[in-house]
Amino acid sequence: MYYNNETLIYLNGKFVKASETSTDLYSQTLHYGYGVFEGIRAYATENGTSVFKSKQHYQRLKNSAELINIPFNFDVDQLVEATYELLERNNLSDAYVRPLVFCDPNMSLSRPNNVSIMICAWEWGAYLGDKQLRLKVSSYCRPHPKSVKIEAKVCGHYVNSILATNEAKDQGFDEALLLDSDGFIAEGPGANLFFEKDGVLFTPQLGNILPGITRATVLEMAQKLGVEVKQGQFQLKKLQSADSAFYCGTAAEIIGIESVDDYKFPLDWSDSIGKKLQNYYSELVRKSEKVLTTTH
Ligand code: PMP
């Protein structure tokens, strides 16, 4: 599903066949979840392939690694170039790109001496589909920021996301909503939350959530549209008296939320600020900031 015999991946500066590469079973990342990754989307534009906010994603990858003491000796600009080349070599345009920084064999809990980087890409539709979501408030909370570096995109953090997703789906919901350890609204397993009340947008402040690049884009778009956004700590009851809500993330893009547990948002999605932002986002990602059309 993700690759075939011809698929190339980028591994430590070289393009190699995905089917012919392997990794060490003694990797510290495999055993302890001690690695960092990114999720990036590329779009077909009038001028060729555009990797949306590629530099911001690789910068976050670097920050994530450094925050958890994983040495990151890769150049952000070179990784951006490598991503364009990877897409071109695989004939991909509308694609999801997954860089992963993983550690050498090490069964101890010390910091690694050597790490690798791989980048792979595949075609991937909207991660949460295009139907409005029915959310379940999770029994799991997001990891406490004093237990982990919550602003880093660390492999091991995603066990929390997987538990919450499975719990929601097993109970017949589409997706989970996680609170933070103080009981304030935090985020989805792989997306940030916004909600609308009386023409104003609200979103959880940074501190207990992943600082999403799509979240930052939504803040920029809202400003351009003249929509006020309030960031803060919000109780569930505030969300469950809101007019409308949406999730945003690179994989999910912008997707409307129909309900949270048994509360159904009263405003029609087509009349919401979220819908306007969804259209705006769809245009924005297909307008390239930097497009490479050269043949490597
Ligand atoms: N929160 C979590 C927990 C995520 O995994 C993601 C996806 N990376 C997001 C939010 C959204 O982040 P972004 O917009 O940068 O993809």
Measure 38 CA to ligand 1 centroid, in angstroms.
9
> What is the percentage of the chain residues whose pLDDT exceeds 90?
93
- The CA dihedral of 276, 198, 256, 194, to the nearest 10 degrees, is 100
Q: Which one, of 80, 152, 165, 171, lies nearest residue 117 by Cα?
A: 80
Q: What is the largest CA-CA distance in the chain?
A: 56
Which pLDDT value is given to residue 291? 47
Summarize pLDDT for 59-100 with one digit per residue, the tens. 999 999 999 999 999 999 999 999 999 999 999 999 999 999
Residue closest by Cα to atom 2 of ligand 1: 190
Measure 216 CA to ligand 1 centroid, in angstroms.
11
Summarize pLDDT for 155-190 with one digit per residue, the tens. 999 999 999 999 999 999 999 999 999 999 999 999
Active site residues: 153
The whole-angstrom separation of Cα 124 and Cα 51 is 14
The whole-angstrom separation of Cα 188 and Cα 252 is 11
Q: Which residues pair with 48 in a beta bridge?
A: 45
Q: Which one, of 82, 13, 84, lies nearest residue 293 by Cα?
A: 84
pTM: 0.96
Which stretches in the chain have pLDDT values below 50? 291-296
Question: Does the CB atom of residue 213 touch ligand 1 within 6 A?
Answer: yes
Go through the chain and tell me how many residues it has: 296
Measure 188 CA to ligand 1 centroid, in angstroms.
8
- The CA dihedral of 198, 245, 228, 250, to the nearest 10 degrees, is -170
Question: Does the CB atom of residue 250 touch ligand 1 within 6 A?
Answer: yes
